[in-house]
């Protein structure tokens, strides 16, 4: 028998024809886009879209501009070359990224793994998983595994138990971190049973992915309450997206809304240079200005780290507005209001 969330997922819109029927307008021009980059909008997220072109629409509905990108790269973070075994990206010394499924509750139009999510180019076979376990076991400097995809919480409860049991059997792995957009895109997946399962694998952290305050619904709130109630520290990664959230007021509302559902803002990302995503990119200055509008003006809890994931696989580079005026024996700065300040930088 299908569970409620599986049933919702099965009723997702996946073709321009269904989109046309739902919005009573002709979307057949999107067929070539969907052939290249799959569409999936589940009934829950579809219900949050208020009007064509709004910030949630833009995240979910394909756009002809996706096929009109001559700037960006298929694999901007060079993940395929940084995978010592299939499905495992090892860029940093002490942590590795483990891609455990190609499925998501929605195919976000701006996805960094647009090249493969929802397609046969992303398969997580048991053999691939076994070779990833072996790599993690052998490379003892890896103390944290980030389970991502795709969306790992689209796995069945049983598949998740198998995965987590295998990871917890590796003594050198201290921290398990799950990256999942499901609390935002299909919060019904966060069942009491799922929360009880995840609770068995502490220390387990979960970073979710909200991009707009309209995504913070009573359902999302309930999902996060369940996870937090299971003792899982919740973080959030937002992508700065043109026409979706690229202004200070929207980001401030989003960060405050996240804290209200017990989710700590973790990263605000500059959009990656992913092929088909160029139209979502902002200038880096836009992010810096947003950071400047948050720092000092609101709780430090609400301030994420703004970072750009360097094209070519250089890793995440944090970016901050510059408060320094001069370095040396006497440091001079400005504070968030622009007032000059100084600090004696010489020790007796
Ligand atoms: C983002 C990422 C991580 C995690 O980075 P944190 O700064 O610890 O959040 C690890 N590995 C890869 C390949 C990544 O892209
Ligand atoms: S849920 Fe995450 S992995 Fe899946 S399409 Fe959206 S951004 Fe990509």
Determine the average pLDDT of the residues in 270-276.
98
pLDDT at 109: 98
Residue 275 Cβ contacting ligand 2 at under 6 Å: no
Residue 252 Cβ contacting ligand 1 at under 6 Å: no
- pLDDT band for position 177 (cuts 50, 70, 90): very high
Average pLDDT value for the chain: 97
pLDDT digits (tens, 9 = 90+) for 288-335: 999 999 999 999 999 999 999 999 999 999 999 999 999 999 999 999
pLDDT digits (tens, 9 = 90+) for 215-227: 999 999 999 999 9
pLDDT at 123: 86
Residue 153 Cβ contacting ligand 2 at under 6 Å: no
pTM: 0.98
Is the pLDDT at 146 greater than 90, yes or no? Answer: yes
Note whether 298 and 268 are within 8 A (CB).
no
Domain range summary for the chain, segments of one domain joined by +: 4-322
Gap between the Cα atoms of 268 and 99, Å rounded: 21
pLDDT at 70: 96
- pLDDT band for position 1 (cuts 50, 70, 90): confident
pLDDT at 190: 98
Pocket of ligand 2, candidates 39, 114, 118, 151: which has the most ligand atoms within 8 Å of its Cβ, to mutate?
A: 151
Query: Pairing between strand 234-239 and 204-208?
Result: parallel
Determine the average pLDDT of the residues in 72-86.
96
Alpha helices in 144-210 (DSSP H): 157-168, 182-185, 192-198
Residue 92 Cβ contacting ligand 1 at under 6 Å: yes
pLDDT at 180: 99
Check residue 41 and report its DSSP letter. Answer: B
Pocket of ligand 1, candidates 81, 90, 95: which has the most ligand atoms within 8 Å of its Cβ, to mutate?
A: 95
Is the pLDDT at 168 greater than 90, yes or no? Answer: yes
Cα 153 to chain centroid, rounded: 13
> Is the CATH number 3.20.20.70 carried by domain 4-322?
yes
CA 185 to ligand 2 centroid distance, Å: 10
């Amino acid at each position: 028998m299908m569970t409620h969330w599986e049933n919702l997922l099965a009723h997702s819109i996946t073709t321009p024809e269904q989109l046309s029927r739902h919005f009573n307008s002709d979307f057949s021009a999107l067929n070539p886009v969907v052939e290249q980059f799959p569409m999936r909008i589940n009934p829950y997220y579809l219900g949050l879209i208020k009007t064509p072109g709004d910030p949630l629409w833009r995240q979910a509905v394909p756009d002809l501009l996706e096929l009109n990108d001559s700037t960006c790269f298929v694999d901007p973070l060079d993940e395929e070359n940084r995978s010592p075994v299939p499905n495992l990206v090892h860029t940093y010394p002490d942590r590795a990224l483990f891609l455990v499924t190609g499925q998501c509750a929605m195919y976000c139009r701006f996805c960094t793994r647009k090249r493969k999510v929802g397609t046969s180019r992303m398969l997580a076979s048991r053999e691939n998983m076994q070779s990833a376990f072996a790599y993690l076991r052998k490379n003892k400097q890896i103390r944290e595994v980030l389970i991502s995809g795709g969306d790992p919480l689209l796995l069945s409860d049983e598949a998740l138990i198998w995965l987590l049991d295998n990871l917890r059997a590796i003594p050198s792995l201290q921290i398990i971190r799950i990256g999942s957009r499901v609390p935002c895109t299909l919060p019904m997946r966060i069942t009491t049973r799922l929360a009880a399962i995840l609770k068995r694998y502490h220390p387990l952290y979960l970073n979710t992915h909200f991009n707009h305050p309209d995504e913070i619904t009573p359902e999302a709130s309930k999902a996060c309450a369940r996870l937090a109630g299971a003792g899982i520290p919740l973080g959030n990664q937002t992508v700065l997206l043109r026409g979706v959230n690229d202004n200070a007021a929207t980001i401030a509302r989003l960060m405050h809304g996240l804290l209200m559902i017990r989710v700590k803002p973790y990263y605000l990302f500059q959009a990656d240079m992913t092929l088909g995503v160029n139209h979502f990119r902002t200038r880096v200055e836009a992010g810096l200005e947003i950071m400047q509008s948050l720092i000092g003006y609101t709780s430090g809890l609400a301030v994420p780290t703004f970072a750009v994931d360097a094209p070519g696989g250089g890793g995440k580079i944090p970016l901050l507005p510059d408060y320094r005026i001069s370095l040396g024996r006497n440091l001079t700065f400005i504070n968030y209001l622009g007032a000059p300040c100084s600090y004696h930088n010489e020790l007796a």
